Structure 1
Amino acid sequence: MSQDRAAGGRMGDSSLLRRLNLAAALGAFLESESLTLRELRALVGVSRPTAEDLLAELLTEGRVEESAPPRKPSTARAAGRPARYFRFRAESGYVAGLDIGAHKAMAVVTDLRGNPLATHRVELDPDLGAGERVRAAVDAAHVSWSQAQLGPADITGIACGVTGALRAAEGVHDVRDGPVGSGLAPYSLPGFTEIDVAGALSDGLGQPVAVANDVKLAALAEHWKGAAREYGDVVYMFAGHRAGAGVLIDGQVHQGRHGAAGEIGVFPTLGWAPAMERLHARGAALAAEQGAGPGREGELVIASAALQDPESLAVLIEFAEVLARGAAVLALAVDPEVIVLGGGMSRGGAIIAEPFRRELAKLSLVPIDVVSSTMGADSVALGAARMALDTVLADLLAVPGS
């Protein structure tokens, strides 16, 4: 090998090593509230001069800045110059999470630490066409960015949750009809099988938008900020205007080969669809009696059951038991640490949770913790933001050529 080629190889190795060290340094800042130079050096495993160079580059890029020392119990200050602290600049980028549902479109924007900065929700007619529904979501996103005093150029990643079965192809998250005979359920939103949802959102927002199943994103949000934070393996049961389920393995959404993991609601023997129909029929009857608007059927049935109305109680108990049978099927398959009850129906408290637990116990091999969601209506949008954030952070930590 010539000296020039050998030198070129050494230069290439040195350049790659620097990129690896830079990614490790940024990762260390992401994992910590703040770091001193000495702490950074120890975490990355480099010499002091190298640590100084890495820190200088991150400061120049705007990813890191000097910060106040962390608050500690009052002690006598050591002699010498106080240590300087540095932190990751969460405001060096922002992500947006969208939720397109039957009755609403919602957008949330967060910084790169996942701190929500603004949320905007608009109510939608359940019969609204696909194009108008997508435009409502785009408008909600722009309003949330404006509320956070951000422009489109500040947003570094966007994801959206949409009702329907997910089909993942070539690494791209998409929600569409499955191929003929695949068994995948289409969108339950009017007209969504006739449009390119990801493309329409991307056109409206000016950058790529990843689209994923809403229930799976709600499960991701529950693990990120909700009742499943302390658990890795989770079965998430969604009960709202429809029933659905999602599975997390080691804190990550399990999609399956075609993105259909957890879509057990399409299995007729479970009886989810008839139970949902009876629940909605009872809610519609109560809405007609009380002059209530659409979208409150579940809430009205819960309120009626709380007043010991026999018909409402019977409908809710049947629904909870049917949901529990689906949860038992998933639990027997993945042996989760916890089952989370999410969606609007989870706000029914013990009226839903107790019959669910009783039926689950009959069908389970081992006791399983059952907890109710703490996320509320923001879960899908927050899960979408988490998905976008994971993509942005992975790109920041990627090392080209490694």
Structure 2
Amino acid sequence: MSQDRAAGGRMGDSSLLRRLNLAAALGAFLEAESLTLRELRAVVGVSRPTAEDLLAELLTEGRVEETAAPRKPSSSRAAGRPARHFRFRAESGYVAGLDIGAHKAMAVITDLRGNPLATQRVELDPELEASERVAAAIEVARSSWAQAKVDPADISGIACGVTGALRAAEGVHDVREGPVGSALAPYSLPGFTEIDVAGELSAGLEKPVAVANDVKLAALAEHWKGAAREHRDIVYMFAGHRAGAGVLIDGQVHQGRHGAAGEIGVFPALGWAAAMERLHTRGAALAAAEGVGAGKEGELVIASAARQDPESLEVLIEFAEVLARGAAVLALAVDPEVVVLGGGMSRGGAIIAEPFKRELANLSLVPVEVITSTMGADSVALGAARMALDTVLAELLAVPGS
């Protein structure tokens, strides 16, 4: 080997080591509220001059800034000059999460620590054409950015949840890589199988948009900020205008080979479609009798059942039991720590939860804890923001050539 090649190899190794150390330093700041130079050295395991260089680069990039020292009891203050503290600048970038459903479009924007800054929502007609629905989502996203006073140029990542399952096709735009080999095939939004959802969103927002199943994103949000924060392996059951399910393994959404993991509602033997149809039929009858518009069917059935109406009670119990059978199938497959009951119907309380728990217990090999979601209607948009945030942070911590 020539001296030039040997020198080049050493330079390359040195450059890679610096990139690795820089990623480790940034990761340390992401994990901590603030760090001193001494603490940074200890975490990364480098010399003081190297730590100073890494800190200087992160300060120049705008990812880190000096901050006030954490407040401590006066008795614990050390004598001498206090150490300087530095923090990760959560406002050095932002992510947006979108939710496109049958009855609404919603957007949330967060900083790079996941702190929500603004939320916008618009009600939609369930029969709205696909192009108008996407346009409404684009408008509500931009409205949330304006509300948060965030320059669109500072948006680092966007993800969107849409009612549907993934299938092998072309057209979805991944946040990192552009077009990839899977496309969303929504099964309940008019016209969405005829358009490139991610492509139109990306064009309208002038940024790449990743698209995923809304129920899986709601499960991710539940693990991030909801009732399942302390759990890693989760079966999430969604009960709202439709029924759906998602699985988290070790805190990550399990997509499966084609993105169809958890889509057990399509299995005819479970009877989900028939139970949902009966629920909607009963709700529509109550809506007509009370002069209430569409979109409140589930709430009306719950309210009627709470008044001990026999037909409404029967419909709800059947629905809860059918949903529990799907949960049992997934629980037997993945042996989760917990089953989360989410979606609008979960707010029915014991009327839904008790028959669900009984049926699940009857079908389970081992006892499974059931908890009710604490997330509201923004769960899908928050889950989408979490998905976008994970992608952005992975990019920040990536080391080219490692």
- Alignment TM-score, normalising by the size of structure 2: 0.96
Verify the 8 A CA contact 2:184 2:211 in the aligned structure 1.
Answer: no
Matched to 1:81, the amino acid is: R
Matched to 1:26, the amino acid is: L
Matched to 1:78, the amino acid is: A
- Measure how far apart 1:74 and its partner are: 3.3
Q: 1:176 aligns with which of 169, 173, 184?
A: 184
Provide Cα deviations, 1:23-47, integer angstroms capped at 9, x if missing partner: 0000000011111111110100101
Match of 2:124? Answer: 124
Written as runs of structure 1 = structure 2, the 5 A alignment for 1:379-394 is: 379-394=379-394
Matched to 1:264, the amino acid is: I
Match of 1:84? Answer: 84
Match of 1:50? Answer: 50
Match of 1:101? Answer: 101
Match of 1:275? Answer: 275
Q: State how far apart, in whole Å, the 2-side matches of 1:74 and 1:174 are.
A: 58
- Measure how far apart 1:323 and its partner are: 0.2
Mark the CA change 1:173 to 1:390 in structure 2 (over 3 Å): closer, same or farther: farther
SS at match of 1:87: strand
Matched to 2:277, the amino acid is: E
Verify the 8 A CA contact 2:110 2:116 in the aligned structure 1.
Answer: yes
Provide Cα deviations, 1:353-402, integer angstroms capped at 9, x if missing partner: 00000000100011111001111100000000000000100000011111
Match of 1:166? Answer: 166
Written as runs of structure 1 = structure 2, the 5 A alignment for 1:221-300 is: 221-300=221-300
Q: State how far apart, in whole Å, the 1-side matches of 2:84 and 2:59 are.
A: 13
Written as runs of structure 1 = structure 2, the 5 A alignment for 1:108-119 is: 108-119=108-119
SS at match of 2:244: strand
Verify the 8 A CA contact 1:279 1:301 in the aligned structure 2.
Answer: yes
Verify the 8 A CA contact 2:223 2:231 in the aligned structure 1.
Answer: yes
Verify the 8 A CA contact 2:184 2:212 in the aligned structure 1.
Answer: no
Verify the 8 A CA contact 2:108 2:141 in the aligned structure 1.
Answer: yes
Q: State how far apart, in whole Å, the 1-side matches of 2:184 and 2:116 are.
A: 29
SS at match of 2:145: helix
Q: State how far apart, in whole Å, the 1-side matches of 2:199 and 2:150 are.
A: 23
- Measure how far apart 1:83 and its partner are: 1.1
Q: State how far apart, in whole Å, the 2-side matches of 1:300 and 1:73 are.
A: 54
Say whether 1:210 aligns with 2:218.
no
Matched to 1:97, the amino acid is: G
Say whether 1:360 aligns with 2:360.
yes
- Alignment TM-score, normalising by the size of structure 1: 0.96
Verify the 8 A CA contact 2:169 2:183 in the aligned structure 1.
Answer: no
Q: State how far apart, in whole Å, the 1-side matches of 2:52 and 2:97 are.
A: 36
Match of 1:9? Answer: 9
Mark the CA change 1:58 to 1:175 in structure 2 (over 3 Å): closer, same or farther: same
Q: State how far apart, in whole Å, the 2-side matches of 1:232 and 1:173 are.
A: 28
- Measure how far apart 1:175 and its partner are: 4.1
Match of 1:322? Answer: 322
Provide Cα deviations, 1:264-293, integer angstroms capped at 9, x if missing partner: 000000000000000001110111011111
- Over the matched positions of the two proteins, sequence identity in percent amounts to 86
Q: State how far apart, in whole Å, the 2-side matches of 1:393 and 1:229 are.
A: 20
SS at match of 1:29: helix
SS at match of 2:80: coil
SS at match of 2:231: coil
- Measure how far apart 1:209 and its partner are: 0.3
Matched to 1:72, the amino acid is: K
Matched to 1:315, the amino acid is: V
For these two proteins, the number of residue pairs brought into alignment is: 394
- Measure how far apart 1:167 and its partner are: 3.0
Verify the 8 A CA contact 1:202 1:208 in the aligned structure 2.
Answer: yes
Mark the CA change 1:174 to 1:381 in structure 2 (over 3 Å): closer, same or farther: farther
Verify the 8 A CA contact 1:167 1:173 in the aligned structure 2.
Answer: no
Matched to 1:176, the amino acid is: L
Match of 2:311? Answer: 311
Provide Cα deviations, 1:62-87, integer angstroms capped at 9, x if missing partner: 00001111123332421111111110
Match of 1:151? Answer: 151
Q: State how far apart, in whole Å, the 1-side matches of 2:79 and 2:112 are.
A: 36
SS at match of 2:378: helix
Matched to 2:370, the amino acid is: V
SS at match of 1:109: strand
Q: State how far apart, in whole Å, the 2-side matches of 1:102 and 1:75 are.
A: 58
Verify the 8 A CA contact 1:233 1:336 in the aligned structure 2.
Answer: yes
Match of 2:400? Answer: 400
- Measure how far apart 1:169 and its partner are: 6.8
Q: State how far apart, in whole Å, the 1-side matches of 2:72 and 2:239 are.
A: 44
Provide Cα deviations, 1:235-290, integer angstroms capped at 9, x if missing partner: 00000000000000000000011111000000000000000000001110111011
Q: State how far apart, in whole Å, the 2-side matches of 1:274 and 1:187 are.
A: 16
SS at match of 2:193: helix
Q: RMSD between aligned alpha carbons? A: 1.2
Verify the 8 A CA contact 2:99 2:107 in the aligned structure 1.
Answer: yes
Q: State how far apart, in whole Å, the 2-side matches of 1:198 and 1:243 are.
A: 24
- Measure how far apart 1:2 and its partner are: 1.4
Mark the CA change 1:169 to 1:57 in structure 2 (over 3 Å): closer, same or farther: farther
Match of 1:180? Answer: none
SS at match of 2:377: helix
Q: State how far apart, in whole Å, the 2-side matches of 1:77 and 1:251 are.
A: 39
Matched to 2:257, the amino acid is: R
- Measure how far apart 1:174 and its partner are: 4.8
Q: State how far apart, in whole Å, the 1-side matches of 2:73 and 2:370 are.
A: 38
- Measure how far apart 1:5 and its partner are: 1.2
Gaps of at least 5 residues in structure 1 are 178-185
